Amino acid sequence: MSGGLPSWRDYAAFLPAGRRGQVRPPTATRWAWRGHDVRILRRGDGQAPVRVLLVHGGGGHAEALWPLASLIRADVADLAAVDLPLYGSTLPADLSAVRYDDWVELLVDLIAAEDDNRPLVLLGASMGGLLSVEAAELSGRVATAVVTCLLDPADWRARRAMTRFGPLGVLGAALPRRLPHRLARQLIPMSWVADLGAMSRDPGLTRLCATDPRGGGVQVPADFLASYLRYPHTRPEQVETPVLLAHPARDGWTPAEISVRWLRRSPAQAGIRLLAECGHFPVEEPGLGHLIEEVEKTCLGLVADQPP
């Protein structure tokens, strides 16, 4: 571990043996946004025809997911992975003031700031799936969203799956729209809320995710969680950006039927593929290969659709 913190190399060790040598190190950059010092990992020099932006969820960060995303061929897409405030190595302006709305607005602004007229694909993992769809809709600059999950807090089934408390997760909808100031800023270990023990089919990877101080080991403001529940999440019927769901078939945390039910209501459904043998953190074959195949196929399809 670099500097005592898990790095992308530690996560790459859980890939199938034949995949580990394909992972290439990222270049770390910084971006200033509303007082936040945002860290973005990158690969590419602007020569690929498409850009992919990786969006993590709650419990992950850019380095954790980098080994998966970096398997996408470099000649197909330039790659970026952002650490959202609270996670990874982004330095927030005020840790206790971060809300879900900030995540959405940061992504929208990042998409605009880096728009270079090449097609952009958002690759959203876990909670980052719906987040990617919402940012895409607000931005209007995203060609396609490829997501591993679509967890809508408005669905009691999704709330039940997301929390450690099972059916008690349904009660999350009863949180007040505005928490008292002191309580709103109170930091809560993510492990108290999320069922991080279901992160992976590999106990070692699950343990790494749950204890990573930049991932599952973070503390989040109480009002970040409340803001996630009260946010006016995009309804599937309203989505115009094509959405491809590549859901782990053996996800022990968020069952595939929850995401499938959401996407089937959307006129923008671009396809559904279950990732064979994959848990919530999809490192198993053959599903890992299927995920990379779907992203590359999506990128190449966007190139083919561009006018000469």
Question: Is 308 within a domain?
Answer: no
| Predicted local distance difference test score (pLDDT) of residue 158 | 82
Mean predicted lDDT score pLDDT of the chain: 92
Question: Is 177 within a domain?
Answer: yes
User: What phi and psi, each to the nearest 5 degrees, are found at residue 86?
Assistant: 100, -25
The structural domain count of the chain equals 1
| Predicted local distance difference test score (pLDDT) of residue 170 | 39
Question: Is 223 within a domain?
Answer: yes
First to last CA, the chain: 47
Residue corresponding to tokens 């043998």? 277
CATH at residue 73: 3.40.50.1820
For residue range 224-278, list pLDDT tens digits in order.
Answer: 988 998 899 999 999 999 999 999 999 999 999 999 999 999 999 999 999 999 9
Q: Could you tell me if 130 and 152 are in contact, meaning their C-beta atoms sit under 8 angstroms apart?
A: yes
Mean local confidence (pLDDT), 197-204 = 95
User: What phi and psi, each to the nearest 5 degrees, are found at residue 200?
Assistant: -150, 160
Q: Could you tell me if 123 and 298 are in contact, meaning their C-beta atoms sit under 8 angstroms apart?
A: no
pTM over 0.75: yes
Q: Could you tell me if 110 and 82 are in contact, meaning their C-beta atoms sit under 8 angstroms apart?
A: yes
**Residue 178's pLDDT band (cuts 50, 70, 90):** low
Question: Is 306 within a domain?
Answer: no
- Range of the structural domain that residue 183 is part of: 8-301
For residue range 160-177, list pLDDT tens digits in order.
Answer: 777 655 443 434 544 555
Q: Could you tell me if 94 and 34 are in contact, meaning their C-beta atoms sit under 8 angstroms apart?
A: no
Question: Is 211 within a domain?
Answer: yes
Q: Could you tell me if 263 and 272 are in contact, meaning their C-beta atoms sit under 8 angstroms apart?
A: yes
| Predicted local distance difference test score (pLDDT) of residue 251 | 96
Mean local confidence (pLDDT), 16-44 = 98
Question: Is 247 within a domain?
Answer: yes
Say whether 26 sits in a helix, a strand or coil: coil
Q: How many angstroms separate the CA atoms of 228 and 5, rounded?
A: 28
> Cα 92 to the chain's mean position, in Å?
18
Question: Is 307 within a domain?
Answer: no
Question: Is 176 within a domain?
Answer: yes
Of the chain, the percentage scoring pLDDT greater than 90 comes to 79
Q: How many angstroms separate the CA atoms of 157 and 240, rounded?
A: 24
Query: Which segments of 189-286 does DSSP mark as H helices, in order?
Result: 190-193, 203-211, 222-230, 256-264
User: What phi and psi, each to the nearest 5 degrees, are found at residue 41?
Assistant: -90, 145
- Both tokens assigned to 246: 């590549």
Of the chain, the percentage scoring pLDDT greater than 70 comes to 92
